[in-house]
Structure 1
């Protein structure tokens, strides 16, 4: 047990953990957070798979980051408790603990008491003995910093454990309710590099809540603070509007793909539009986002029975199954727009983190105050005998403190 305690209060462990946490945090700022899986695969290739495996796409609540925080919490907690047990008794006990090197001082006890009070010492006098202390805040500052770190780490862990995410695909004009706020998409822009790979996505949103109306631009890795959480630019998706013509039925449909039509005694299931049809490893895929080989898949039902299926291509004909099915279809037109993918993320650890940062700041300021020192002065027949604690040069420091 003693070896385990020594391990967890090791300064070396604290330094290593802080370095690792800093590295993970730095990588997390370089890697866009909370994006769609395809974003990382398209942008980083093989490295994207590593990013996803290490959970660096959401590092703040990843297993690696949580493990480092737990270890750092234990390290800080053990160090703090050790100081409370070993150091605090000496700090708060004025009498007979830690005094070094006594010298005779050519001053009376009343003069010494006055001198100490003028120099900011807290003085306690008992008969012919004075106990004095100064710089308590500077001595306790490391403990305040430790306490602040504990609050901040707990906040990080609580944030990870209480994380709540909601994802939305929206077109301009669409609105969504987030807690007490209404978020409306005004505009969505897609920026690309010269080779066509994604560079940035920008969603301009209007937020309406009890505070009024505000406009935000949400970009990759630049979330907006909305409704008690953060709104991330997460993904995007094409939104195809198609026109299908059914000559035998005398019917034409215009609207989004992935719908169900009812006409002429049939239920016609219209599945997703494929802009660049290709078969790979026995599966239908879209080789690109461009409409190079547009197609849409249809299934015809009468009641619960499927009576036909049909791949409909824009540039060439392909027979239905069965081939003698009396209804044909033509893909007359297709038009693409883009939907933005927004992710709303909220957690309950922010208050702990804020408290931790405030306490750390107070502790850091406390380090600027005069260093901690204790003095004991006892009146004897030969004069006043002064002793000091927590001094590197006891004699010199006593003389400096009591010098008039």
Structure 2
């Protein structure tokens, strides 16, 4: 008997997480069939993709409103398909606004629902727990402190760790990453990561580039590496780079091929990774937009400066919908949330000036004692997240076949 798994992932990070789950399920139940919405990593694992994940990749309420007709078309299409031919289990990966609505409908129709990556109710809109309880048969959470929250609220939950903690090495190979990227092994290198969404590029790229200009005056030999998630974001970033030119600035994307001689196996392995991973591993420090990339930088043990800027309209809409002017916790960046401390600086909104970003990045680049302390804290985080995520997630998913909708 073939296990039919419905799956929806809406962003590159969710696509990678879901692909690891698919590997784990296949090891427990074979044959398995996967269908739904995903990206290249999921398709490589055999997903029958009804829609590409880009159909769901929106940022906030303004973007969602603009794309509402296509979002509704996608939602009603997959809902109709799964209600008419029910999957054995449905797994929603992140994308809570889309997935929790879909999970509620499927659960009410008798389909067991698993949600992977808990919404950040510990930071914003804790009342969403009631919607989660109604929609989700079982939660899979990435972080240890989340398990206690869901247990307290009576939601079946499993802490599975973060799959990135398994695939990102405990000891980064900076020299190997620099060989692959053709970067001088003795150079001072800053990774600049303004985000993967168009709105993030628009609001953060000019600030980051102006900060890089200030840093280049302090160290004219400073190397700037900028990973890009796709060609569209690269074109947007290049437009800002023309306005704010930075010496020794290179853009690295998924199509990169090594400049120097490398062993074929090492080159192929690095080419298969996200471009950002090679860049972070090669860097001495990272200037990064708040999001999953901050956790990746922490797993690579890199000191970083976390920043984020919302437009005034987006900020008002977030405050209106959440009823909060700021998160419940004092931290925004995931590394700081996990450490329960300001291990690395967060420069947000008006505080994210080019000068402040440059000063904080200079400390991250040059203060080796500080960098060593940061690396120690990030190693502790890495160890706490390093569990057999695919196996734990797969077991919880397969168990839903016996438990039902709960």
- State the TM-score, normalizing by the size of structure 2: 0.20
Larger Rg: 1
Q: Which has the higher contact order (CA 8 A, sep 6+)?
A: 1
More helix by share: 2
- State the TM-score, normalizing by the size of structure 1: 0.20
